[in-house]
Structure 1
Amino acid sequence: MKLKYGNILALVALLFAHSSSADEVITTDGARLVGTITLIDKGTIHLDTNYAGSLKISQEQVASFSTDEPRVVRLQSGTLMAGPVQSSGNGQLKITSEDGVLTTNTSKVAASWTPGAEDPEVARNKREWRYDASLDMTGKDGNTDKFSLGTRLEAKLKGPNDTLAFYAEYEQAEEEDLKTEDRAAGGASYESFFSKVLGWYARTELETDRIDNVKFRSTSAGGLSYRLINKDKQSLVARSGLGYRYTAYTDDTEDESSPTIDFGLAHSYEYKDMFVMENDLTFVPAIDDFSNYRVVHDSGIEIPIGNSDNWKLRMGIKNEYESQPAAEEKLDTSYYTRMIYSWR
């Protein structure tokens, strides 16, 4: 029995030592949260805990915090300090560095990170490549045989005020051994903002679609971009410009070649790291015949899978409408569910 009591005391002492060496966050309502402060950025304290996983606490709700290990702290004034952070009560903090002790207020901390890591503000302003590879495949066997396959590769070099993007995709579908979809497309685009609201863009797309009798289609355009909403979790960009469209058909339809007007709308909204909703719309009418136009609309929701930053599931709908098509159908509507793997 003494051995058991001794083990219990040793365990309690070990837990106490562990908790005493951890970082601490005191909220304005008096709650005490213990864990490891990994980052302070954009008014949010990121705290890793053993009991509740990763917590995000609004800095406005924090009375004070302290760290056991050194942290790099950047104040609102731009001052940088590196060292352990201790709370001195009433929202006051003491940062102890090799150059001395600095006393400040919790609200004046703009960012904090572990030594050796990068300032989050610097990281946000860097241009970085991101790659996406996606696959959606469905099949049905029985009274009706169906099969569809869709693949897409995308690469983006994104900065705070510009984006360079490339993509390639292929879609194929069969029903009762008859092809109902056989389309390949690819393109590139670049968009740059020279002010908070105004920017410019250029894009080009190449496409072939045997089911719609499109042997080759080329669409190029450029113009002005307008940032109607530009927030951390939401953006809305409107585009308008001029372009040129050329289409060669597989049947006897006369090839089309005409200058165009280019309109676009792109919306993105992220909800609490739970999902991202994206909506894209383009409307391209011919200048010499406004009734000859093409509309492409794509709306989808991307949901992270598990705790991974790499795997996502996208569910969406895509509509392609041509007012004067070579095929019988003017509207192509597809519903899709894609598995996406992203990496940087």
Structure 2
Amino acid sequence: MLQRRLSTAISTILLFTSTSLAADQILLDDGSLLKGSIKQISDGKVIMDTAFASEVTVDFSRVTQISTDQKHLIELDSNDRVVGQLTVNEQGQHQLTGTAFGTVDIDPKRINTLWETDAVQPQNAQLEQQYQQEIEQIKTAQAQEKAKLEETYTAEVQQLRAEREALLDPWSGSLAFGVQGASGNTDRMAVTGRGELHRETANERLGMYLEINYAKENDEQTENEKLAGIKLERDISENYFARGSADFEIDDFEELDLRAITTASLGRFFIREPDLIFKGFAGVGYRFESYSDGTNEKDPTAVFGYETNYNLNSRLSLFHDLTYYPSFSSPGQNYLLVTNVGAEMPITNDEAWKLRASLRSQYNSQPALDAETTDTNYRLNLVYDWD
């Protein structure tokens, strides 16, 4: 009888030993026995590869017994590390075998981390995974930023190309003309014409004009005036520009054979928007006047002025400018003041044809002997614009 019990016990021990050598195994608190290959213990979890369910994860706190069929790296709660094989002896005591210190007893609750000898420590593997995820996130963000930059670059290049194409032909101009007539008690005929030519680039503006005004009433001339001028502006910075101009005038009824004014000035944009431009300028110049009675006037002069253009809406634009020329010799007594104000309105869908109403007033503090100090002209002209 004793021999039979001893044989049974030995068989049980041999069976348990052979089973433990065949695979890692863990016994849970509900009596469940899991066999397979323990991959790691980390963060209070046991991860085991099993034949019936592939990878299984259970709480390490539920494990009552654990054994391995080969050595593992083990980190204890004291941060000490040891290499050995976990076994359970006949008394149910956990032991580490094959360590550098031989066989030692161990409490499984002290195991903080366990991993295979040829694997990376789970914490390091987790950090590596987080690192790789961060790298992938950075790469994704960089790719998105690159795509956004490429999109912005493409849009800017297209805009620059459009602006460049517009600058390939920077010239534009206009022709304005008007005719007025009457017959009967009074025979009257008046003709006015003005041509303008402009060249505008990114930082330079050139403008030229020629204007002729002629009127006749009852076979007598009542107006014979010719105006011409040129103006060049070149930007120094975003708001400041250098300005040079020359204006010429001939007026029979002012007994003016020629008035020529040349100036050089510094200007500033106070408002520079697509629908509103307001700029001022100040500088020095030279004024020459020759009259029909043979007298001439030559004076260095200062120049002060402003110009504004306002697109009130798509159908109406307003303009106004004023220029003041005081003589250096007697600025309070000898000066010339010129102002223009008006409005334009397109009358065709392509906006090539417009109607322009304008008023030009010129005040000369020292006019010719029989001339008025103020000369004012009202105009209503048909205008043709081209770009």
Same fold at TM > 0.5: yes
Q: 2:382 aligns with which of 334, 339, 344?
A: 339
1:239-250 correspondence to structure 2 within 5 Å = 239-250=281-292
Once the two structures are TM-superposed, the CA of residue 226 in structure 1 deviates from its matched residue by 0.8
Partner of 1:225: 267
Once the two structures are TM-superposed, the CA of residue 205 in structure 1 deviates from its matched residue by 1.4
Structure 2 portions without partners, runs of 5+: 1-147
Partner of 2:238: 196
Partner of 2:220: 178
Contact residue 204 and residue 233 of structure 2 kept, 8 A: yes
- Normalising by structure 1, what TM-score? 0.65
CA distance in 1, matches of 2:149, 2:174: 36
CA distance in 2, matches of 1:206, 1:301: 24
Partner of 1:164: 206
1:132-171 correspondence to structure 2 within 5 Å = 132-171=174-213
Q: 1:210 aligns with which of 252, 266, 279?
A: 252
Measured against aligned partners, the alpha-carbon deviations of 1:263-317 in whole angstroms (never above 9, x if no partner) come to 1210000123211111111111111011111111111111111202311110111
Partner of 2:336: 294
Give the aligned residue type for 2:378: Y
Once the two structures are TM-superposed, the CA of residue 141 in structure 1 deviates from its matched residue by 1.7
Q: Counterpart of 1:267 in 2: which secondary structure? A: strand
1:254-269 correspondence to structure 2 within 5 Å = 254-269=295-310
Task: Answer 1 or 2: higher relative contact order, Cα 8 Å, separation at least 6.
Answer: 1
Partner of 1:285: 326
Q: 2:152 aligns with which of 66, 74, 78?
A: 78
* Distance change in 2, residues 1:123/1:249 (3 Å): same
Once the two structures are TM-superposed, the CA of residue 110 in structure 1 deviates from its matched residue by 7.7
Query: Structure 1 or 2: larger helix share?
Result: 2
Once the two structures are TM-superposed, the CA of residue 112 in structure 1 deviates from its matched residue by 8.0
Contact residue 192 and residue 214 of structure 2 kept, 8 A: yes
Partner of 1:235: 277
Q: 2:371 aligns with which of 322, 328, 334?
A: 328
* Distance change in 2, residues 1:123/1:248 (3 Å): same
Give the aligned residue type for 1:282: T
> Structure 1 vs Structure 2: percent identity of aligned residues?
28
Larger mean CA deviation between 310-319 and 139-148 belongs to 139-148
- Normalising by structure 2, what TM-score? 0.58
Once the two structures are TM-superposed, the CA of residue 322 in structure 1 deviates from its matched residue by 0.5
Once the two structures are TM-superposed, the CA of residue 173 in structure 1 deviates from its matched residue by 1.1
Is it true that 1:276 corresponds to 2:317 in the alignment? yes
Which protein has the larger Cα radius of gyration, Structure 1 or Structure 2? 2
Once the two structures are TM-superposed, the CA of residue 125 in structure 1 deviates from its matched residue by 6.0
Contact residue 255 and residue 371 of structure 2 kept, 8 A: no
Query: Structure 1 or 2: larger strand share?
Result: 1
Contact residue 76 and residue 110 of structure 1 kept, 8 A: no
CA distance in 1, matches of 2:257, 2:380: 27
Give the aligned residue type for 1:151: G
Is it true that 1:306 corresponds to 2:306 in the alignment? no
CA distance in 2, matches of 1:127, 1:197: 25
